[in-house]
């Protein structure tokens, strides 16, 4: 049961309609996250601008989806895990990679370092060590890449928390439950 309802295009304000139409044109649909965020056009615009800016960053779409998955799992956000399971598949993740990402695991040591860092950002509330940064740099991440990992993590924390508060109704296929990942390394 949603605690904050979605905005219906028929009863939306002009600004809310513009948001809904723009997202539908870009994605072909309006996810419940966006139609719920549209209760506050400022919040919806902030989310869309932040997301759009990061999509133009240095981190590839596949890694951004993996970060979304590990953050969603760390925050127990079923909505975001479901959405990013689907979007991750569209970005090139197979089912094993999707499940592994949720556990901060990857067969690629560089990707695993980024996922472990994103997970630590969530669990340690951003209080990471010099060693954590050194590890990322040793795996080939630049300081700009590190800034984008933090930004992608923060964006996902926002959507995770919003979904928890709003009780956003799931409009993506539910993600499979995460068992202990026996991923090959």
Q: What is the mean pLDDT of each run of 10 residues along the chain (185 residues)?
A: 94 97 95 98 98 98 98 98 97 97 98 98 98 98 98 98 98 88 48
Q: Cα separation of 111 and 126, whole Å?
A: 19
User: What is the pTM assigned to this prediction?
Assistant: 0.94
Candidates 85, 87, 9, 77; CA nearest to 51 is 87
- Quote the pLDDT of residue 179: 74
Q: What's the per-residue H, E or C state across the chain?
A: CCCCCCCCHHHCCHHHHHHHHHHHHHHCCCCHHHHHHCCCHHHHHHHHHHHHHHHCCCCCHHHHHHHHHHHHHHCCCHHHHHHHHHHHHHCCCCHHHHHHHHCCCCCCHHHHHHHHHHHHHHHCCCCCCHHHHHHHHHCCCCHHHHHHHHHHHHHHHHHHHHHHHHCCCCCCCCCCCCCCCCCCC
Question: Structure tokens of 90?
Answer: 């569209």
Start-to-end CA span in the chain (Å): 40
Spell out the residues 6+ positions from residue 25 whose beta carbon is closer than 8 angstroms to its own: none
In Å, how far are 3, 44, 74 from 83, measured between CA atoms?
19, 17, 15
- Quote the pLDDT of residue 59: 98
- Quote the pLDDT of residue 185: 43
Question: Structure tokens of 156?
Answer: 């996902």
Q: Cα separation of 93 and 110, whole Å?
A: 16
Q: Cα separation of 57 and 69, whole Å?
A: 18
Question: Structure tokens of 29?
Answer: 């649909």
Q: Which fold has domain 61-166?
A: AhpD-like (1.20.1290)
Q: Where are the domains of the chain?
A: 11-55, 61-166
- Quote the pLDDT of residue 178: 83
Q: Cα separation of 155 and 49, whole Å?
A: 11
């Amino acid at each position: 049961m949603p605690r904050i309802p979605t905005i219906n295009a028929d009863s939306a304000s002009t600004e809310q309609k513009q948001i809904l139409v723009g997202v539908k044109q870009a994605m072909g649909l309006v996810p419940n996250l966006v139609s719920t965020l549209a209760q506050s056009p400022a919040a919806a615009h902030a989310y869309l601008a932040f997301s759009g800016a990061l999509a133009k960053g240095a981190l590839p779409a596949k890694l951004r989806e993996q970060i979304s998955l590990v953050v969603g799992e760390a925050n127990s956000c079923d909505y975001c895990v479901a959405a990013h399971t689907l979007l991750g598949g569209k970005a090139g993740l197979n089912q094993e990679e999707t499940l592994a990402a949720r556990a901060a695991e990857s067969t690629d040591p560089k990707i695993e370092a980024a996922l472990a860092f994103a997970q630590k950002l969530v669990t340690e509330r951003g209080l990471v060590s010099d060693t954590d940064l050194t590890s990322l740099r040793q795996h080939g991440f630049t300081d700009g890449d590190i800034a984008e990992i933090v930004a992608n993590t923060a964006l996902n924390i926002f959507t995770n928390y919003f979904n928890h508060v709003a009780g956003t109704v799931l409009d993506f296929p539910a993600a499979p439950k995460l068992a202990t990942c026996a991923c090959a390394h």
